[in-house]
Chain A
Amino acid sequence: MSLAFARQTHISRLGRGILGFAALGAAILAGMCIGETPIPVGVVLQTLANKIFGATYVLDPIEMGIVWNYRLPRTIVAACCGSGLAISGMVLQSLLRNALADPYLLGISAGASTGAVMVTVAGLGAGAISMSLGAFAGAVAAFLLVAVLARAAGGGVTLHGTGQIVLAGIAGSQLFNALTSFIITKSANAEQARGIMFWLLGNLSGARWPDVWLAVPIAVLGLMACIWHARALDAFAFGSESAASLGVPVRTVQVALIGVTALVTAVMVSIVGSIGFVGLVIPHAARFLVGVRHGRLGPTTALIGAAFLIAADVLSRTIIKGQVLPIGVITALVGAPAFAVILIRGRRAR
């Protein structure tokens, strides 16, 4: 039984929104306080006071810099990335009627990794293009290829096309993964391969304020698109023909949502690398908690995704002292058992 306690206790929409924001704020604060090195909570709060409210606490510039310039942007980017990937997964699962859909289904992650290795390993752009830009270009290229392929297969974004999209996505992903492997084995030495590995498994350590200004609007865009189309997404429950009979302009909605999903995923992957499991597992966790209605599912998915990735980032830095693990390892290690728990409890609940 889903925990529809919000209905029973009549928390208003506004109340739920405030609770959600408070939870997000708490998660971000936790991300700032916990890190590789111990920094007292007082210092964190005083740093915030100094930077936001212009207070004049005397603090060690290194500690203040770590909190404000390293931890805070990284936590915010983690939140944006977690919510963006989770929302993208949720949208694709609902649109494509496939519980195993995740944001990388459209070939985006595979394309991004190809773009990244072309820049770093094959030396494309000769150091003028950053890995992130190459990744973004690769992601977009892969997605366009998949879309064209799905279209040519007679599917694409029409009423009957969901099977074709999935297959086209698989074909595209395989192609780009093969390209990535080819480039790595042909040109890379062990150290480059290691750098790529780190990126392919996700890495938030380079996140700074400029990344925040990119990640936040995109994440908000994704969430807004979801909320706006919440009813349409609900209507897809019985398939796209059913949705059409319920008055949903199916083609328009599919194009808009898949387009937004692709954009959000491509941007997030180019900033932090490809972090797995978030887009696949978090929507199911959210469904288990609040049910299938997208009006509630969307924001819940975003919130859980944000908190999850913040926690995973903190874990990746603290689990081994003095060393940083790739975040994709943590999300998989935590995500897999969590998924198992959800499956088992979900079955018992019925």
Chain B
Amino acid sequence: MILEATNLGWSARGAPILSSVDLSVKEGETLGLVGPNGSGKSTLLKLLAGIRTPSSGEIRLKGRALAAMPRREAAQLIAFLEQQAETTEAITVRDAVELGRTPWLTPLQPWSEEDDRIVAQALADADMQGFERRSWATLSGGERQRVHLARALAQRPQILLLDEPTNHLDVQHQLSLLELVTTLPITTVVALHDLNQALSCDRVGVLAGGRLVALGAPEDVLTVERVGSVFGIRASIVIDPTDGTRLFRFHPVR
């Protein structure tokens, strides 16, 4: 159990956004989080990343309390990719990705060639080589998303938390990102909108109304009944004749 959340809760101005969430993330797995808008996915991820303090409950990272850990140390283990991270600065792609090395640098351990290598690798993994000198303002939404991914990868974390990373991406990049994320030998927790993409995760957690209502293998958790009750839609399973994989097809509720 690399990351464990016990009885996690978070409220804003008295209204509970998240309550009584118990979640254990296994080392090396890819855990998908699904749920309708407002179910608390982003909040849960931010709490797991340690950038918000829970109102109740606690999180343990590799057995140690996350709240007690210095930010720097936590950032060397966990990288977080926000849903929307914008800037008005005239920052270049390379500058943005280099930020990922921040937790590893100190005034006494300044930039080295190793860092250059890591940044180059991260750019390649995110399919952004050649973009180094481009200014942030000239990038499309999808390109910006991939730069953020490169930054997270440059952090060389052991746990990667991604908040709806496929939002602005075209189909090709959506698929390649998911493939990258699932094949990386690191633990990944990824919030997704697309239930079919969630099917390719090792485990799936379903959030509804701030509670974790199901957690387990995709075929066990994402049943037609559950999908219907949580998302308010009708789903039917379809089998792909070429390789037998299960897919969802969705219909609105009449």
Contact = CB atoms under 8 A, between A and B. Distances in A.
| A contacts B: CB pair < 8 Å | yes
A246 B73 CA distance: 10
Interface stretch (B18-26, B87-95, B119-127, B213-221): B87-95
Contacts of B49: 244-245
A163 B51 CA distance: 19
Given A247-B76, A350-B138, A235 B90 contact: no
A246 B103 contact: yes
B102 A235 contact: yes
A350 B91 CA distance: 12
Interface string A223-236: 00000100110110
B75 A246 contact: yes
A228 B107 contact: yes
Contacts of A291: 90, 92, 95
A287 interface: yes
A159 B46 CA distance: 12
Chain B interface residue count: which class?
35 or more
Nearest to A158: B53
Contact of A238 (B87, B103, B135): B87
Nearest to B137: A350
A247 B71 contact: yes
B96 A241 contact: no
A212 B52 CA distance: 44
A35 to B, nearest CB: 39
A242 interface: yes
A127 to B, nearest CB: 48
A242 B82 contact: yes
Given A231-B102, A237-B87, A242-B82, A247 B137 contact: no
Given A228-B107, A238-B87, A292-B89, A246 B135 contact: no
Contacts of A237: 87, 89, 91, 95-96, 99
A249 B99 contact: no
Interface in B92-135: 92, 95-96, 99-100, 102-103, 105, 107, 135
A248 interface: yes
Interface in B40-94: 46, 49-52, 70-76, 78-80, 82, 85-92
A161 interface: no
B75 A247 contact: yes
B155 interface: yes
A16 interface: no
Contacts of B76: 247
A247 B89 contact: no
Contact of B103 (A241, A247, A287): A247
A345 interface: no
A20 interface: no
A304 to B, nearest CB: 17
B86 A238 contact: yes
Contacts of A292: 89-91, 95
B51 A244 contact: yes
B102 A293 contact: no
Interface string A157-197: 00100000000000000000000000000000000000000
B135 A350 contact: yes
A238 B99 CA distance: 10
Contact of A247 (B74, B107, B135, B138): B74
Nearest to B13: A154
B90 A241 contact: no
A245 B163 CA distance: 13
Given A237-B89, A292-B90, A246 B82 contact: no
Given A159-B51, A350-B138, A249 B91 contact: no
A97 B88 CA distance: 8
Nearest to B86: A238
B87 A246 contact: no
A334 B135 CA distance: 30
Q: In this complex, which of A228, A287, A291 has the most chain B Cβ atoms within 10 angstroms of its Cβ? A: A291
B155 A246 contact: yes
A2 interface: yes
A99 B88 contact: yes
A100 B165 CA distance: 32
A244 B71 contact: yes
Interface of A: 2, 97, 99, 159, 228, 231-232, 234-235, 237-239, 241-242, 244-250, 287, 291-293, 346, 350
Query: What 3 A-B pairs come out closest when comparing CB atoms?
Result: A247-B75, A247-B103, A245-B80
23 contacts: A231-B102, A232-B102, A234-B99, A235-B99, A237-B96, A238-B82, A238-B96, A239-B82, A239-B85, A239-B87, A241-B82, A242-B85, A245-B49, A245-B51, A247-B71, A247-B75, A247-B103, A248-B75, A249-B72, A291-B95, A292-B89, A292-B91, A292-B95
Given A239-B82, A293-B95, 13 more contacts: A228-B107, A237-B91, A237-B99, A238-B82, A238-B86, A239-B87, A244-B71, A245-B51, A245-B82, A246-B100, A291-B95, A350-B135, A350-B138
